[in-house]
């Protein structure tokens, strides 16, 4: 060993327990690359955040899980001073794996381990809503809290289909809401069905939603879908679910580094598939974080 230390934290239930059968292989690859490996089986997503926040004693912090697991890890790592923060490695074993897609990480666990061991580092943007960080998307409105409502066992069995089925179930009870904010020198005030601030290339496995988004440009891509009647909304959803490019003159898209959003009633947000702050939202670019790719 050459003194390098690596902490591996894994979600044992992520992606049909994809990692657990390969855990010995993972540890072997890291050890052969010169790392002293400390492995933790996380008891909850909150446990991942806690472990990450106390990981200033390692060179690499590796999270094995989906976007929700990465979300918790990033929020933990960003509690540490920048000069004490280890680089983040990702083993993509979740359902959508949006960040892994944006980073072009291998789907194979052994190959993803080799990427981490190689050590190329990207200084990646994060987003921030009030006092919480996100890596892919902050959203509110139609379908945005679906991943929170889907049972883990159903998600592991049906994959992304579970999100779509749960989404359809929530449509009859959904109520549009008003948003108000200033951007590009203009004042916006309108009823919407969906608000999104996107950092990565992919949202919930949908690869064509924000094709020009960048993880390093210091900007968030804002997407707003106005409440323009159910026929228009259903057409939008069908295009999204078919993974087709969503084009409509009514959909507002722009980039910004900071935005304050007011709503007509208290609305919950969703950050990377996990519950986020209630409105009002101060949405901005957060600190950079070192990610292995």
Q: How many CB atoms lie within 10 A of CB 251?
A: 15
Name the DSSP letter for residue 206.
Answer: B
Supply the Cα-derived Rg of the chain in whole angstroms: 19
Token duo for residue 24: 């010995």
CA distance 129 to 261: 10
Angstrom distance (rounded) from CA 101 to CA 179: 31
Alpha helices (H) in 159-206, listed in sequence order: 160-170
Q: 3-class SS at 240?
A: helix
Task: Please name the residue that has the structure tokens 């540890």.
Answer: 27
What distance in Å separates the CA atoms of residue 232 and residue 251, rounded to the nearest whole number? 11
Give the list of residues 6+ apart from residue 221 with CB closer than 8 angstroms, or none.
197, 198, 199, 210, 212, 213, 253, 254, 255
Question: Can you list the positions of beta strands (E) in the chain?
Answer: 4-10, 35-41, 60-65, 87-92, 121-124, 127-129, 132-134, 137-141, 177-183, 186-198, 220-226, 252-256, 258-263, 268-271, 274-278, 281-285, 289-292
Which pair of tokens denotes residue 52?
């990450």
Catalytic residue numbers read 274
Q: Looking at 42-158, which runs of residues are DSSP E strands?
A: 60-65, 87-92, 121-124, 127-129, 132-134, 137-141
Angle at 221 between CA 85 and CA 216, to 5 degrees: 35
């Amino acid at each position: 060993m050459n003194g390098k230390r690596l902490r591996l934290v894994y979600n044992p239930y992520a992606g049909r327990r994809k990692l657990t059968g390969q855990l010995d292989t993972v540890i072997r690859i890291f050890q052969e690359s010169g790392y002293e490996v400390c492995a933790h089986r996380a008891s909850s997503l909150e446990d991942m955040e806690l472990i990450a926040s106390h990981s200033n004693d390692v060179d690499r912090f590796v999270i094995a899980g989906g976007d929700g697991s990465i979300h918790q890890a990033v929020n933990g790592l960003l509690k540490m001073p920048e000069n004490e923060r280890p680089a983040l490695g990702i083993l993509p074993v979740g359902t959508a794996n949006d960040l892994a897609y944006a980073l072009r990480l291998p789907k194979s666990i052994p190959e993803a381990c080799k990427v981490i061991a190689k050590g190329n580092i990207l200084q990646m943007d994060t987003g921030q809503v009030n006092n919480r960080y996100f890596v892919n998307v902050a959203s509110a409105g139609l379908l945005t809290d679906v991943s929170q409502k889907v049972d883990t066992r159903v998600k592991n069995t049906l994959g992304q289909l579970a999100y779509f089925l749960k989404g359809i179930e929530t449509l009859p009870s959904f109520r549009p809401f008003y948003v108000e904010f200033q951007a590009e020198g203009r004042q916006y005030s309108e009823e919407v069905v969906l608000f999104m601030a996107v950092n990565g290339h992919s949202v919930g496995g949908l690869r064509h939603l924000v094709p020009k988004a960048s993880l390093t440009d210091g900007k968030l891509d804002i997407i707003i879908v106005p409440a323009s009647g159910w026929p228009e909304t259903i057409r939008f959803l069908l295009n999204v679910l078919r993974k087709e490019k969503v084009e409509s003159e009514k959909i507002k898209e722009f980039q910004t580094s900071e935005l304050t959003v007011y709503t007509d009633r208290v609305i919950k947000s969703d950050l990377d598939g996990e519950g986020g702050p209630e409105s009002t939202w101060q949405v901005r670019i957060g600190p950079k974080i070192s990610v292995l790719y």
